[in-house]
């Protein structure tokens, strides 16, 4: 899953409006940020095997540190705790933790049974990737819902807030279509280097989100502990 993870981050903005979309995106794609690093270190392995599923030529041979459920539970707690330690924003910390975990759940729906429950443990996966139309329909639907929710939660403060955000969304779709329609990567190393570009998305999102603000008419409950400007504040 690719834009489905971005959709989860966009939805997270509704739960934690004070948390930057960059942080939410880093959380929702955290496992895939770690993965190329572990590939390059030789700690995890992938094989290029066209036909492995209809959607992807990748055979995830071994990725126990980035993608086993047990490790992911650890990453989830660690990310939430770290975020809380830095910001003291409870809604944000819970959202970050849940987003890290959401990645595994979405991968579980899409991957064939290659996701270990723990390192060396049984492997699971529902295999939605065996159907390209189903995968694209589900991911695009999630993406559109996420987009609608994010746009209902924030509004642009300036041109950067508008165009950097829409540019990022368009770039996501272009990369997504390129992934589906493009040729398989030549080898594991090239794939890992390209996959490292995933680090750009949270940075880009952070930049765009910094030029947007939470829509004032949101119900109070959605703000968490956001301080709202009132006339009394002068
Ligand atoms: Zn993943």
Structure-model confidence comparison of residues 131 and 211, the more confident one:
211
Instruction: Work out the average pLDDT over 98-121.
Output: 95
How far, in Å, from the CA of 21 to the mean position of ligand 1?
19
Q: How far is the CA of 218 from the centre of ligand 1 (A)?
A: 32
pLDDT at 217: 67
What pLDDT shows up at residue 1?
A: 80
The fraction of the chain above a pLDDT of 70, given in percent, is: 92
- Determine the Cα–Cα distance for residues 196 and 171; give it in Å rounded to an integer: 16
- Residue 219 CA to ligand 1 center (angstroms) comes to 34
28 alpha carbon to ligand 1 midpoint, in Å? 9
Distance 106 CA to ligand 1 centre (A): 8
Look at 26-30, 56-60, 81-85 and tell me which has the smallest mean pLDDT.
56-60
Query: Which stretches does DSSP call E strand in 49-134?
Result: 58-62, 115-116, 123-124
Q: For the chain, what's the residue count?
A: 234
- Cα(226) to centroid of ligand 1, in Å? 32
pLDDT bracket for residue 49 (50, 70, 90): confident
Q: Are 102 and 146 in contact (CB under 8 A)?
A: no
* pLDDT band at 58; cut points 50, 70, 90: confident
Distance CA 128, CA 125 (A): 8
Q: Which of 35-44, 154-163, 211-220 has the lowest mean pLDDT?
A: 211-220
Distance from Cα 67 to the centre of ligand 1, integer Å = 7
| Cβ–Cβ under 8 Å, residues 142 and 4 | yes
Residues 146 and 11: beta-carbon distance below 8 Å: yes
How far is the centre of ligand 1, averaged over its atoms, from the C-alpha of 104 (Å)? 7
How wide is the angle at C-alpha 121 spanned by C-alphas 119 and 126, nearest 5°? 105
DSSP for 101-132, written as a single string: HHHHHHHHHHS-S-EESSTTS-EE---GGG-H
Across all residues in the chain, what is the average pLDDT? 90
Q: Rounded distance, CA 137 to CA 207, Å?
A: 29
> Lowest-pLDDT range, 33-37, 49-53, 73-77?
49-53
* Torsion angle in degrees (nearest 10) through CA of 108, 68, 77, 18: -40
Q: What's the average model confidence in pLDDT over 106-125? A: 94
Q: How far is the CA of 114 from the centre of ligand 1 (A)?
A: 11
Residue 179's pLDDT is what?
A: 84
Q: Which pLDDT value is given to residue 19?
A: 97
- Name the pTM for this structure: 0.89
- Report the run of H or E that residue 25 belongs to, with start and end: helix 21-28
The Cα 135–Cα 133 span in angstroms is 6
pLDDT tens by residue, 180-232: 888 888 888 888 998 999 999 999 999 999 999 998 866 555 444 444 444 44
Task: Please say if the pLDDT value at position 233 is more than 60.
Answer: no
pLDDT, mean of residues 3-24: 96
Tell how far the Cα of 142 is from the centroid of ligand 1, in angstroms.
16
CA–CA distances in Å: residue 86 to residues 80, 83, 136, 150, 171? 10, 5, 37, 24, 30
pLDDT at 166 over 50: yes
């Amino acid at each position: 899953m690719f834009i489905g993870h971005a959709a989860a981050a966009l939805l997270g903005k509704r739960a934690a409006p004070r948390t930057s979309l960059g942080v939410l995106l880093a959380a929702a794609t955290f496992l895939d940020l770690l993965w190329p690093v572990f590939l390059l270190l030789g700690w995890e392995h992938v094989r290029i095997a066209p036909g492995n599923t209809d959607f992807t030529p990748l055979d995830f041979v071994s990725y126990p540190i980035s993608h086993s459920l047990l490790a992911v539970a650890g990453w989830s707690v660690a990310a939430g705790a770290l975020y809380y330690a830095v910001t003291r924003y409870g809604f944000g910390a819970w959202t970050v933790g849940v987003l890290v975990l959401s990645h595994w759940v979405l991968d579980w729906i899409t991957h064939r049974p290659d996701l270990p429950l723990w390192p060396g443990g049984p492997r699971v996966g529902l295999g939605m990737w065996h159907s390209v139309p189903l995968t694209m329909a589900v991911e695009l639907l999630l993406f559109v819902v996420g987009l609608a929710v994010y746009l209902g939660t924030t509004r642009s403060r300036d041109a950067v807030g508008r165009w950097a955000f829409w540019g990022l969304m368009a770039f996501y779709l272009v990369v997504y279509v390129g992934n589906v329609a493009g040729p398989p990567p030549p080898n594991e190393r090239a794939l890992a280097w390209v996959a490292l570009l995933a680090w750009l998305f949270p940075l880009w999102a952070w930049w765009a989100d910094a030029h947007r603000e939470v829509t004032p008419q949101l119900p109070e409950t959605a703000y968490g502990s956001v301080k709202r400007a009132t006339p009394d504040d002068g």
